[in-house]
Amino acid sequence: MRMFVDEVLDTFPHDLTFTGTDEGDYHIHAAATHCQADLLLTDDDPRDITTTENVHYDIICPDDFFVLVTKSAPPKMLYPIIKEQIAYWSKNPKHQQLDEALRRADCTEFAEIVRSALQRKALMSEI
């Protein structure tokens, strides 16, 4: 895991100020603070982790994260990822269309990007 992740923490500070509404999420705030994270990727309500703007990290939901990565990468990078995901999920007899599964996972904007990419790819294949 350490090969793929910038920061792996064995422990975190237990004495930081915590303004979040969910005390069970203290460890998330403490870890992000301790490793000086720029982004904190979570599907939790950001207020669970902090209610102040005075933190050095931004809290980002999965949909926004996938959109950010997609917009930051060359356009041709999306197709191999989509292809791999379709191949992986199609092995499940109850699989959904990839864009529908993303919508159901509250990744609505990324689902639209995927759907549009698949439509463009289909149109190019017909030419």
**Taking CA 90 as the corner, what is the angle to CA 88 and CA 93, rounded to the nearest 5 degrees?**
125
Find, among 13, 127, 121, the residue nearest to 75 by Cα. 121
Residue ending a domain, choose from 60, 91, 111 = 60
Radius of gyration of the chain measured on its C-alpha atoms: 18
Give the total number of structural domains in the chain.
2
> Are 113 and 83 found together in one domain?
yes
13 vs 34: CA distance, rounded Å: 7
pLDDT of residue 4: 63
Q: Which residues of 37-61 are buried (b: 16+ CB within 10 A; e: fewer)?
A: beebebeeeeebbbeeeebebebbb
Q: Are residues 46 and 94 in the same domain?
A: no
- The residue from 18, 41, 60 where one domain ends is 60
Instruction: Enumerate the β-bridge partners of residue 58.
Output: 39
Q: Do 55 and 91 lie in a common domain?
A: no
pLDDT tens for each residue of the chain, 127 residues long? 566 666 678 888 999 999 999 999 999 999 999 988 999 999 999 999 999 888 999 999 999 999 999 999 887 889 998 999 989 888 888 888 899 999 999 999 999 999 999 998 887 776 5
Specify whether 121 is located in the same domain as 77: yes
Asked whether residue 32 falls in the same domain as residue 8, the answer is: yes
**Cross-strand pairs, 15:** none
Distance from C-alpha of 107 to C-alpha of 86, rounded to nearest angstrom: 16
Crossing angle of helices 108-126 and 78-89, rounded to 10°: 100
